[in-house]
Amino acid sequence: MFTTMKKLRPLSDRDHEWHLSIFDSTVEPHASGRVIRMNSTYLELVDGFYANRGMLSVVGIFGVSILLIFLMVSWWSTYFDFYLNPNWDRHDEVQMLSFMGFATVIIGLFITGLVVFYRAIGEWFRYTHYPMRFNRRNRMVYVFRGDDTVLEAPWDEVYFTLRVNSQAFGVRTLGICGLLMKDPKTVKEMFVFGYASSSRDYCLRHWEFIRRYMEEGPQAVIDAPGFQYCLPIANKRETLYEGWVALVSRDAWNPVLKWLMLPFHVLFFVGRLVCRVTSKVPLWPADVEAACRIAPDDAYVRDSSTNPVGYR
């Protein structure tokens, strides 16, 4: 799943109602475990689908596996039950091979379609995650789109607001987004932050973490809750252990739920492995890295190297 969406649309009443000011502070900040690295120049956060990456892949892996098994069994049966059968008179050979050829083509097209679909949504053959950077020195926002381009937007010109990410069974999940405006009434592109919650207050606290960093500096958020460690994925793939932790951490607080979810987590982990193997590590373009250069004596550098041993 990508972090950005290009689509012209009018600015809605809800966008107005839920508008987030970069100047007003109303709650205490919370990092929400989304930080990849922070320093006096920029704050880098992960996309909202990182923790659940691999869940959607399970369906694709199951579909591809069933189709491949069916195809292999069919060809196996064709060879051993017919061609190795001395009593077969081959009177229906043409029809049988035509059917098998047709079935092979159709299954091949289905598998290709699944691969194309999962690539299109960013799960396979894309990137391991889709980060965004908030540069407080040049007051720019950089968002890794996933199509080998980077969205660059001035912090002071982005229209920030809350949005409804999803709604099911009466539960509404809120998120934070930034809107790039074509004109005062028209949105031309949207990027979605990497945190979502059914609690409006939690979303506002995560927004306050970012807002306070940009407006007041790293010293204002260095001790914020949810910032005990940085995600160890900067310029590298997660380890198998780190991938497992990312999947199970959401349910780890509940001793009953974590065991009930264990079989599903194992399946999701298989999907996550496919994402990991087929995807590239995102690397920022040279011009972005140049704009985000860190001072050698920066006292506020935080990344996976400052994590506890075992999670670096």
Q: What does the pLDDT look like over 181-215, one tens digit per residue?
A: 999 999 999 999 989 899 999 999 999 999 999 99
pTM of the model: 0.87
- Among residues 166, 69, 159, 80, which one has the least CA distance to residue 111? 69
Written as six digits, the tokens of 219 are 């010293």
Q: What is the mean pLDDT of residues 264-285?
A: 93
Q: Look up residue 295 and give its amino acid.
A: A
- Residue 66: what pLDDT? 93
Average pLDDT, the chain: 91
CA distance 226 to 277: 29
Q: What percent of the chain has pLDDT over 90?
A: 67
Predicted confidence at residue 176, as pLDDT, reads 96
Average pLDDT over residues 122-148: 93
Q: What is the mean pLDDT of residues 302-310?
A: 88
**pLDDT recorded at residue 122:** 84
**DSSP string over the chain:** --SEEEEEEEPPHHHHHTEE-SS---S----TT-EEEE-SSEEEE--TTTTTTTHHHHHHHHHHHHHHHHHHHHHHHIIIIIIT-TT---TTHHHHHHHHHHHHHHHHHHHHHHHHHHHHTTSSSSBS---EEEETTTTEEEEE-SSS-EEEEEGGG-EEEEEEEEEETTEEEEEEEEEEEEETTEEEEEEEEEEEES-HHHHHHHHHHHHHHHHH-GGGTTT-TT-SS--S-TTSPPPHHHHHHHHHTTTTT-HHHHHHTHHHHHHHHHHHHHHHHH-BPP---HHHHHHTPPPTT-TT-BSGGGSPTT--
Q: Could you read off the pLDDT of 201-259 as tens digits, one per residue? A: 999 999 999 999 999 999 999 999 999 899 999 999 999 988 998 888 877 667 788 88
The pLDDT assigned to 46 comes to: 95
Of residues 18 and 88, the one with the higher pLDDT is 18
**pLDDT for res 190:** 95
**Cα separation of the two ends of the chain:** 25
